[in-house]
């Protein structure tokens, strides 16, 4: 089930599925999904989804010239400011700081 959960996350993170939708697609309850994720990965399902969103945001910030608003929209965020707050909370850096640090490290 957890392998399938990761596949679903990889497929649908841009649509920002709710945990209920993931659980429904897996044929389990949200509580069962949460318990299984914590036991197997030591993380909540939402932490796994958020990590996938941040990983894609980091990839786009590092390897594309898309602006923050375009990246936010691509990842399912209607508001670039909300995306920036989400990214900072998850990674500890603003998107622009992450991009600058990556580019500095490459030179």
- What's the CATH code of the domain at 38? 1.10.10.60
Q: How many domains, in total, are found in the chain?
A: 1
Please report the pLDDT score of residue 21 as a whole number: 97
Residue 107 pLDDT class (50, 70, 90 cuts): confident
Residue 106 pLDDT class (50, 70, 90 cuts): confident
Provide the domain limits for residue 57.
Answer: 1-105
DSSP code per residue over 31-96: HHHHHHHHHHHSS-HHHHHHHHHHHHHHHHHHH----HHHHHHHTT-S-HHHHHHHHHHHHSS-HH
The model's pTM is 0.92
């Amino acid at each position: 089930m957890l392998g399938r959960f990761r596949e679903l996350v990889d497929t649908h993170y841009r649509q920002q599925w709710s945990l209920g939708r993931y659980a429904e697609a897996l044929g389990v309850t949200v509580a069962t999904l949460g318990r299984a994720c914590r036991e197997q990965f030591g993380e909540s399902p939402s932490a796994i989804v958020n990590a996938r969103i941040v990983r894609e945001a980091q990839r786009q910030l590092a390897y594309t010239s898309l602006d923050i608003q375009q990246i936010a929209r691509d990842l399912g965020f209607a508001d670039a400011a909300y995306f920036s707050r989400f990214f900072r909370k998850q990674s500890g850096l603003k998107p622009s700081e992450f991009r600058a640090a990556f580019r500095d490290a490459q030179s």
